[in-house]
Amino acid sequence: MKIRILLVAALVVAGIGLTGGPATAKHAPGGCGTGFGEPLSIAEVIEHFPPPPGFPDPEGALRAFDINGDDHLCVKPQPQGKIIVVDNKSVGQIS
């Protein structure tokens, strides 16, 4: 009888461990939200979305968004060649 109770308890504990995290965690840490695609390095952002001529220090401007310092950002293209830039640090994560 004790063995059966221990077995049931072990299965319950294992089942609890297999359940997923909170439903709000939609992306793996470091990922990008809907519409942003995969994280791009700062160099890739400049390559894929060239700044306007005469734009001073585009790399420095982008680094200001790189809160976690991993050299990657999430970019969402907008009309007329504009972009929305966010860090990949906190998207889909719960602190």
Contact 28/89 with Cβ under 8 angstroms?
no
Q: Which domain holds residue 47?
A: 26-87
pLDDT at 35: 87
Lowest mean pLDDT among 15-19, 81-85, 90-94: 15-19
Asked whether residue 14 is assigned to any structural domain, the reply reads no
Q: Does residue 68 fall inside a structural domain?
A: yes
65 phi, psi to nearest 5 deg: -90, -15
- The answer to the question of residue 21 being in a domain is no
pTM for this predicted structure: 0.61
* In a domain? residue 13: no
What's the whole-number mean pLDDT along residues 45-58? 94
Q: Is residue 38 part of a domain?
A: yes
Q: Average pLDDT of 60-82?
A: 93
Number of structural domains (the chain) is 1
The 3-state DSSP class for residue 55 equals coil
40-41 sheet: strands from edge to edge: 40-41, 72-77, 83-87
Confidence of residue 83 (pLDDT cuts 50, 70, 90): very high
